A and B are shown apart, each in its own frame.
Chain A
Amino acid sequence: MPGKLKAKIVAGRHLPVMDRASDLTDAFVEVKFGNTTFKTDVYPKSLNPQWNSEWFKFEVDDEDLQDEPLQITVLDHDTYSANDAIGKVYIDIDPLLSSEAATVISGWFPIYDTIHGIRGEINVLVKVDLFNDLNRFRQSSCGVKFFCTTSIPRCYRAALVHGFVEELVVNEDPEYQWIDRIRTPRASNEARQRLISLMSGELQRKIGLKVLEMGGNAVVGYLQCFDLEGESGLVVRAIGTACTLDKLIPGTASNTITHTNTAPASNACNSPSKEIKESPMAHGCRSSHNSPVHSACSSQRLSHSQNFSVSVPTLVFTGMGSGISVGKEAGPLKTLLRQQAQSALEQREFPFFTLTCFPPGFLVHIGGVVSARSVKLLDRIHNPDEPETRDAWWEEIRQEIKSHAKALGCHAVVGYSESTTICEEVCILSASGTAAMLNPRFMREGCLDAGGSDQRLSRQPPLGMVGSERAEGEVSSSWLGFDDASPPSCGFCHIPYDEFNMPFPAQLTYCYHCRRQKVPDVLFTTIDLPAEAAVTGKGCLIQARLCRTKKKAQGEVNATAISNLLPFMEYELHTQLMNKLKLRCMNALFGLRIQISVGENMLLGLASATGVYLSALPAPGGIQIAGKTPSDLSYDQHISTMQKRINDTIVMNKEFYNIHPPECIEEVVGSPIPDRQRSRLFRSTSESSDELSELDLSHGKKDAFVLEIDDTDAVEDIQSLLTDAPMPAGFYSCNTEVMPGIYNWTSGLQMFTSVRVYRLNNANLTNQGLNKIFTDLCENLLKSLYFKLRSMIPCCLCHLNFTVAVPEEELIQVAVTAVAMSFDKETQLAADKALNKGSGENEEQLQFSMELCGESTSSNNQPTAKPSGLPESAMTHSSSRDRCSTWLELLRLKAHTIRRGSVKTISSSERCSPLPEVRSRSLRSTRSLPCGAPVTVVKMTPLSFLPRTRIVKYLGIINMFFIRETTSLREEGGVSGFLHSFIAEVFAMVRAHVAALGGNAVVSYSMKECVFMENPNKNQAQCLINVSGDAVIFVRESDQEAIPPLITSGQTSTTGADGTT
């Protein structure tokens, strides 16, 4: 009996009128936990009842405490007939189980009914007394903290990062049970809501147990999803990163940053054996993306490097006719597993991390994006009620991801996520992440107690620069003594594997920053921009959109058709991304998220990422259009017009994104592939930006990305390139946490959710027509968002992630949840100016960084053997090359080569001009409304922080699932009115829960599911929404006692020189 749950019902307000005769309500409340129910007295004839009940006490196991929600039902007493339910409140009491989170839940909760929506509010008090029990951790995992945030939460430091945890539970979907035929929609919805709540609790408890087993105390980057499989069941699954977190003592946090440079240069745990094994010098470099498709009858793997000179796809045909596989083939996987022996990381089954933001020094090198997809048939699951089959599916995919990472010379995958899309009985499982080399120090026990380490791990934002977090780059100097240290600002760009044994030919150059190691020409990742990265100019959102028609089919035929289409789609999406990246004169993508959604007669693909110009990488070349066929005059003219427009756009974009890489003197070292090897000395004396753009264009003509106009797809590409409307002045957008190049956020922010559904009226659309529609649709949505948020100018839309779905034939649904954050224009201008000026100081900087490089490399400049594990997989790939020549031919047709354009070295990113403290721009009204206690303002954001504030406490995870249904769609304002009020209700319920926990914000908020179904003929609609986030308490920076000296943005990183003011 390890816990006692106590609940008290205080009062209600704004209740609906339940008795038409008196225009009043006789309300009472049922409080239920597990199988125990209590009732309050009836409070007669009032819309604002004051129950002031006794404390209802439930004595329960902590296992139940974790699984079950507290269920509060408000009813209207009726003497003669059955009591009418007004609505319900489910309260997740998990936050009360951790000593560090909330201690009491107290506040007004909206009373929610799945048919009528919110009907009044109820004031509730909930407490939990936990008894100490030696046996306590047998079934339950009370006390394990969960965070949706995909970085180390701000008031903690990570003592240890244990690694990947996952769990999956299955149940029958109440909506598909026989009883659903006879029960009311309300009963069915409530059964579903309750079931998902229970399953989430169970899932969290089970994951918690795994974390305890590993010796951790928290899960960071917790991502929970549910799959509505229909007949075969309802799956709730979750992944996360187990960590041991230590709470930072408030007050010390702000000091730590300034201490960093005094940290000891090397740690005791630098065992020499490790150094050799993980020596980075052995790693060549390549950026690559693998887009394998695993389908039942044919397991196809396709990888191509980002430059799309695809010559070594890891394409494996396993032979046809084996039928749709539902089990897993564990055999070969085990052998793979055995190969991994020594490293702390490789001992783990899956060296995956759901984190996207890391303490400086954690990421050593980044390989590229790895992804895997698998098409499965749900009606072939043998025992649908058991999780084994799905477990095996995911296991298979994860193994694939792992082997892809190995092929890229990486031992870990960061920014890892999983998703599904379901259409009828076909289910596509997807996983993606970024292959990376990590600093093993963070994974080893007892290594982080050495002085100075806490600074690195805490992600406490530097005061005055919140949001930018560049100050963390400052710790660089303390890392110089490490085995695999390279100057931290560019280290992650360096190729992680052997350049002489690359599975893909790629363009390599010496790093434009340290000039010691090789970097790829383009880098794609799924993570956020590392804090230490040096970036030139600003970034922007880049989207690739694709629509492909598909014949209607069923079962295996359908699955095969889909799996055949997938690799082409991935390829197309990448081509688009690449083109758009070049058009913006950028060379790296962060936060890449590719979503593929299946409908009955089409597939939708949407890739979003934030493009940036990484100073360490070479400047991208231009785009050149070439006509293939001998052509007449007008055709040539057309091409040259197009070319001109493209060139103009590039110039315009450079100006817009402020990309003016400082001119430089640099020799280009060619890639290891001999025929491409060239060495060129490039000198330019002028500093002007005009000169630069001119430079690039000339290069664009010589060795640019070539688009052949004969290719119909290329025409399409060009169209889509040029139809992307430029952002209106004053707006920036990105899909990552923050926008590189913007630092001076004000506290003004607006989180929003926008959903659109389009109906395609024309049944026989071509791929091209569909594409156009889909592109217009996304562009229009963006335009609408800009227009809506124009009052916030200058602002940046952050975390702009679209979710697409095909809810029905000929319907396209696009949903987006993002946050608009305004920044201060004047200080921004000042910062930009300082940036431009900074180029003059290059030399000084350069000198410094060179010194650092020398220091770091002298110790470990011995080339070592290629990393174990890599060769084998590489070999397999190459041997399979011949087998799929037709496939290759196809890809080759489209292959583009990229060559470097102009060259540059060091970023001049001395953004150290102390930014004046900008006063918060909050619109707090002094005139308050005279109506009792004001409602707590709860801020919501999909980001892990709130600008100009400091998070002082995490109160627990918010994970809520709601269903709303209506049988009077027209009366509720049609589908838009219905969904509008439902989303507003969901926001309201999230805010109420946070406020009841004592919080004033939700960070890392996301709407993970929005399933909308309608039947206008029957005047009906139903919608399911799943949201999650972390409830926190924040304080405004200005509220803090003393403001310590501002720390420079130091995004420059390069030097580690701190520009404290």
Chain B
Amino acid sequence: MQIRYAVFTPILCRTQRFNCAINNTRLQMLFTQTVPGAIYLLATVSPRLDRYITLVKAYKMSMELDVFVGNTTIMDMEVYQLWLDGLTVSDAVKVRMDEGALLECEANPEVLTSDTMDQFRTFQMCERLLHSPTKLGSQLLYQIPAQNQIILIERYYEFDSVFAREVLGKKLSKGTKKDLDDISCKTGITLKSCRRQFDNFKRVFKVVEELKGPLVENIQRHFLLSDTLARDYAAIVFFANSRFETGKRKLQYLSFQDFAFCAGQLISYWTIGAMDSMMEDMDVDLEKEFLNELKDLKVLVNDKDMMDQHKILVCAALRGKIKVYKLMEVNFKFIEPCRYDRWTVAEITLFLTHYTNAAHCLGTFRHQMIWDRYMGVIKSCILQMYHE
């Protein structure tokens, strides 16, 4: 990176694109980036400055090397966010200028550029360690306070839900990685940031895919993430593994958080790990046995008698409570119709509760346990997914 200065007479003022008044010195900057890696700062000096100095004077000097290393690694978390967002150094400098960084400590653009570059380099050098966060705590190269380590890791693994929504259910493969360009265009997230997020998904997936024990805990143990973030990752891993078709047009309105919630429910109740915490198996896959048992539940739909009986029971229970009662009869596979008819959340809840309970009253229905396990999850999922 080269920084060149040229001091011009005030006439040039008009061409400036970027203004910044630095305290009282009234230095105005023209900020252009004509050649990659070279920033040209054209400064106009106001006549207030000593007129004996306002000679047109251009001198050349370029910084060949600029390094700052602290015994405790200094990290500016605001700059870290800019780096994570995939900004270039010059864009980051602009953002920082806009945010008023120049007002701090009598900085000038050169100082800011130097600082930003230095910080970006530091993050880049730490990135390798962030790929296996447990190493960050035991490595000797950078002395980073434990608090900062936690923030570094957490922020590095944070992702944009818009991005996650796009990738959800897709195979975390090279093929998908190639599509990141499109996702970047669509979401407005820089390609660099997309890559980082995608690689994070892939990395976490690879590590925990084959691991036994509870998924969330595994993620936490290996990536030292907060509980919330680890749960989100569990959802991503879960979807990446089971590849639900989240891309369907009908499901477009659903956000990542909706899916994450559902995945959480599924993991909690429908996987092997959920039923028997002692069992040394994984949370990633749904319990096969359970899925087989679910087939038995189809009797509720397939068997005309039982379905009618169930319907009657549910309707009886709800009579008078819900205005849209009549419509309901036909709507046993739901959300869309409900949305269409503008049910309230309360109404849905009520309906689902009775729907569940009614099944118990069916004399011929024998799969009570499975039914409860199924409906519990379905109910909460539906409620989560039921929104605009």
Contact = CB atoms under 8 A, between A and B. Distances in A.
Interface of A: 13-14, 108, 110, 118, 121, 638, 641, 719, 725, 728, 731, 750-762, 765, 769, 772-773, 776-777, 780, 783-791, 811, 813, 923-925, 927-932, 934-935, 937-940, 973, 975-977, 979-981, 983-985, 987-988, 991-992, 1012
Contacts of B107: 783, 787
A811 B67 contact: no
B108 to A, nearest CB: 7
A973 B115 CA distance: 16
A929 B67 contact: no
A752 to B, nearest CB: 4
Contacts of A932: 137-138
A755 B67 contact: yes
Interface of B: 50, 52-53, 59-74, 76, 104-108, 110-112, 114-115, 117-118, 121-122, 124-125, 134-143, 145-147, 149-150, 221, 224
B60 A761 contact: yes
Nearest to B140: A988
B3 to A, nearest CB: 10
Contacts of A773: 59, 61
Nearest to B145: A923
Contacts of A772: 59
A784 B65 contact: no
A976 B61 contact: no
A321 to B, nearest CB: 41
A988 B141 contact: yes
A522 B179 CA distance: 72
A927 B71 contact: no
A981 B73 CA distance: 12
B69 A980 contact: yes
B38 to A, nearest CB: 12
Contacts of B110: 780
Contact of A788 (B62, B72, B74, B136): B74
12 contacts: A719-B53, A750-B72, A752-B69, A755-B67, A756-B63, A756-B65, A783-B108, A790-B105, A928-B146, A931-B224, A935-B139, A987-B69
Given A754-B68, A758-B63, A987-B69, 12 more contacts: A641-B50, A725-B106, A751-B71, A752-B71, A761-B60, A783-B106, A783-B107, A788-B118, A931-B135, A931-B224, A938-B71, A992-B140
B89 to A, nearest CB: 12
Nearest to A940: B71
A787 B139 CA distance: 28
A649 B50 CA distance: 15
Contacts of B69: 752-754, 980, 983-984, 987
Q: Which of A14, A758, A923, A976 has the most CB of B within 10 A?
A: A976
Given A110-B140, A758-B62, A760-B61, A976 B111 contact: no
Nearest to B110: A780
Contacts of A935: 137-140, 143
B146 A934 contact: yes
Contact of A752 (B70, B122, B137): B70
Contacts, number: 180
Given A761-B62, A991-B140, A728 B67 contact: no
Given A638-B52, A772-B59, A783-B107, A756 B66 contact: yes
A339 B329 CA distance: 121
Contacts of B60: 760-762
Contacts of B72: 750
A784 B64 contact: no
A940 to B, nearest CB: 4
Contact of B139 (A14, A757, A788): A14
B137 A927 contact: no
Contacts of A928: 146
A754 B67 contact: yes
Nearest to A772: B59
A786 B105 contact: yes
Contacts of B134: 929, 931
Nearest to B122: A980
A925 B145 contact: yes
Contact of B143 (A765, A813, A931, A937): A937
Nearest to A755: B67
A641 B135 CA distance: 61
Given A13-B138, A758-B64, A783 B147 contact: no
A987 B68 CA distance: 12
Contact of A931 (B59, B137, B142): B137
Contact of A929 (B61, B104, B137): B137
Contact of B71 (A13, A638, A931, A939): A939
Nearest to B4: A761
A476 B68 CA distance: 43
B143 A756 contact: no
Given A788-B74, A929-B136, A973-B121, A118 B141 contact: yes
Contacts of B104: 787, 790
Nearest to B146: A925
Contacts of A641: 50
Q: Would you list the 4 A-B pairs with minimal beta carbon distance, nearest first?
A: A929-B137, A761-B60, A757-B65, A925-B146
Contacts of B140: 108, 110, 118, 121, 935, 988, 991-992
A980 B121 CA distance: 9
B105 A811 contact: no
Contact of A979 (B53, B65, B150): B65
B240 to A, nearest CB: 23
A931 B224 CA distance: 10
A751 B118 CA distance: 16
Contacts of B61: 758-761, 773, 776-777
A927 B151 CA distance: 12
Contacts of A984: 69, 73, 125, 141-142
